[in-house]
Chain A
């Protein structure tokens, strides 16, 4: 870690102004990811702008929308009664994330911007296109058990690690941003980028742009939603494969279904083709299996992660089975 400057922002506009005007600066919220990256030498900044005093931690819900301030902590959102009632998948995704200690510190904005857990990325002594563009991707020919089978490129196959982002993607959430040129709103599904040939660019955020809030529309499907996370230990571990599912059944027929997947894609993975394969059909194991095959039709498995092709399909069967009462 290197010495860096530090400013506490007084207002969102203040934060944006300082960050936009200070080269190689970064915002810091809970610091649970940023500081680890800086300590490990995977990321380095000359200046940090502390967001923790901003009035952006509120959680409100009205008739149509849940609004989560970017500085709301993971725990606050997970335990919020309305979130638990109206959006079980959000609460479950958060409670399945990290540890109680991390969830007390970590904020929603920081969660969406946490960086990949690819070991090569986090090791300053390894090559990595995401960390040092053009240096190569050792994961492709090396250890890639945790890596993506969907959305990768020859430059990077790292997964996005956030569980929350997967749930928000399933729920059609919108990310609100404030930049030097004013505010804008981006659907969460468009917020993260595919790696392509620029894996160092992970989101649509511009220098100095701040996440202020995440909006989640209320739907009937959301009230019947679930997060299934498969991982290598029972707690305090990222997903090998995860599924966020929201389902509205009309009798036995799928009225509405929203699905997003973690651990398999280079960004929180939504494939509307999978949902289309289910919508309007009877919810049977055969139908879900067929939809699962749509999901993995373009999968590119590597030496270590081929099992995810099968596992994610089984996870889908399992979670929709539980949500829909079929086994």
Chain B
């Protein structure tokens, strides 16, 4: 090992990205490509009664207009990862506002867009229900989702709550939110006879291929579909599942007998590709006077639709984070006439906000420091897993200066601002999905890794390149990593924090196998200086192969493979198990109570993600997670009109996300010790979604500390503090 893993290696794709050399999905120039534009419904519930495409068809450059009357019949894929559970343009029903009702194909983008404005649609309209508040009495317990129940019982929470010495009973709420990656969703579909290539912006090329194969079961075999997605301009979960625009574009290309490209508009991204569901959570905590949790009764309600009943805002942290003998979790849902929700940026944040705010309330009830309260309820990991959360509390508190905190609310002022300090535990589940990798060492002595994983902006190219370089004993710039193509060995979706835990194992195994294969060739080759040396005595470094203890006796990857006369190609696998990552975040806010204005002035966070594979990308993930956490707490909010169930703010100028001025620099610290439970991934756990999960609660807690006002409904806008 040359020790690249762990170092803050710069992004290997950084230069390509900042110079524009990186080709994102919509950048692909496909010969003769036609352009698609969608016509969206302007009602939320009902039926199309009349659809007139004549003006659109007569418009210049228009090739075709597809509607439910002439669209290719498709098969609805059976389940997740096709969350929508219906395919538009297959019948006349309208399930939500902003549902495609026609697909225009034209020679240029402008022609397609203009023609889309000319399609006339009439509806029979039924009144929609848009908000949880308007249908709470219809809440029900949805059936299991992806093998997981929506109700979990441990001990007897009701009885324990009844007996508890101290209780906190509150409701915590959050609105609909949208992922808002900068790069819009896009598909370019190219048919060649009965095989199909899709240039996608997808977090999971393998799952996309599967869903497309299900939808096109009548027309194409899965093995004849190729999905290509080497770079993403952000996904945040929105590009994890497969959505209808992909299916419709492939269908349009088949009917139009030519390649078709579709790029969603920003407004369309508010109804086409999932969101964080509006959510209410009733939490009842019971504890002893010493602050030990004895009961948690957690009843949440999330928005569902009339076509599916999947809960994505799960209460995992209630179940797994703290030691509490009696827990009752119920995840209810209400059917509304809205688009389908889905996983969004650390989905467990939604529920975790309530838990970590309630714990802060409990800390004041029992008169304990919020960190100490959490320490008292610490739940050690079950073997073989590690959990250095106590270390995170210590590191974070020390770096922040938490010990100097005066717990009394509303006593610290600087100028006309009140200062508040708050903290929360951060945690998220990570997944581990069977993955495979292929590594080639060519006659130039260069290594090429192929794996159908994805680069979603988090640093996959960089970290996998480090792993390969270390495993082979090769310089970083002798290794090329290729991702995002179903032509490569299948790998995990880049969602659910699963990339590193799933893919590092197969990649490091492939690297080890490749090294062993080359060494075996060398020691068996009479022309090699290493001929006859026991393989175990050969060391690889900087692309050279040495005899241990005798550095002069050496060969190289290049020379071995060149003499061998053909590239060495090996595969790797390395199944892993899911788990959790942990951290603690400490936040300072400044509040001008008279004007209700809040700003976050300082953030310090400490994490236990197992082994850190790259400190730079890990810190980048922390910056991103904390920034989104600030957005969740202070501004993000998709506004849905109560009467029309239509999104009122589907633009980046009206859906607010934090800008630099809202975001202080973030200090991060890492325990950085390998988790034995994630051995295949070199001790690294999944970490992507952990940073930020505690930030909304930490901000709420800090606002309380600054002002004595407890906010339980995000976003914390001025009006709520007046």
Contacts and interface: CB of A to CB of B under 8 A. Distances in A.
A145 interface: yes
Interface in B429-480: none
Contacts of B595: 230, 311, 314-315, 318
A255 interface: no
Given A1-B114, A2-B117, A311-B596, A123 B634 contact: no
Interface in B579-638: 594-597, 599, 634-635
A117 interface: yes
A40 B650 CA distance: 11
Contact of B634 (A126, A142, A233, A307): A233
A310 B721 CA distance: 12
A129 to B, nearest CB: 15
Contact of B648 (A119, A124, A141, A236): A119
Interface of A: 1-3, 40-41, 117, 119-120, 122-126, 138, 141-143, 145, 230, 232-237, 240, 307, 310-311, 314-315, 317-318, 327
B661 to A, nearest CB: 4
Contacts of A236: 659
A120 B718 contact: no
8 contacts: A117-B654, A138-B644, A141-B642, A230-B718, A233-B661, A236-B659, A237-B656, A311-B718
Nearest to B600: A234
A230 B361 CA distance: 29
A40 B267 contact: yes
B651 A122 contact: yes
B656 A232 contact: yes
A142 to B, nearest CB: 5
A95 to B, nearest CB: 12
B722 interface: yes
Nearest to A1: B113
Interface of B: 40, 42, 97-98, 110, 113-114, 117, 267, 416, 594-597, 599, 634-635, 639, 641-644, 646, 648-651, 653-654, 656, 658-662, 715, 717-719, 722
Contact of A120 (B416, B648, B659): B648
B310 to A, nearest CB: 27
A40 B653 CA distance: 13
Residue of B113, B639, B719, B722 ringed by the most chain A CB atoms within 10 A: B719
Contacts of B654: 117, 119, 122
B650 A145 contact: no
A307 B648 contact: no
Contacts of A311: 595-596, 718-719, 722
Given A125-B646, A230-B718, A233-B656, 6 more contacts: A1-B113, A123-B646, A138-B643, A307-B722, A311-B718, A314-B594
Contacts of B599: 234
A138 B653 CA distance: 20
Contact of B653 (A117, A120, A141, A142): A117
Contacts of A307: 596, 718-719, 722
Given A307-B719, A314-B594, A233 B642 contact: no
Which secondary structure characterizes the binding site on chain A? loop
Contact of B722 (A119, A235, A310): A310
A230 B646 contact: no
A119 B644 CA distance: 13
Given A230-B597, A232-B656, A234-B661, A41 B117 contact: yes
A327 B413 CA distance: 15
Contacts of B658: 233
A6 to B, nearest CB: 14
B609 to A, nearest CB: 30
A245 B654 CA distance: 27
A310 B596 CA distance: 11
B648 A142 contact: yes
A233 B642 CA distance: 25
Contacts of A237: 656
Given A143-B639, A233-B635, A125 B651 contact: no
A122 to B, nearest CB: 7
A161 to B, nearest CB: 10
Contact of A240 (B594, B648, B718): B718
A2 B110 CA distance: 8
Contacts of B646: 123, 125-126
A125 B40 contact: yes
Contacts of A235: 659-662
A277 to B, nearest CB: 21
B110 A1 contact: yes
Instruction: In the A-B complex, list the 8 residue pairs whose CB atoms are closest, starting with the nearest.
Output: A234-B661, A307-B719, A119-B648, A125-B42, A235-B661, A142-B641, A234-B662, A143-B648
A315 B113 CA distance: 44
Residue of B267, B595, B662 ringed by the most chain A CB atoms within 10 A: B595
Contacts of A145: 719
B649 A119 contact: yes
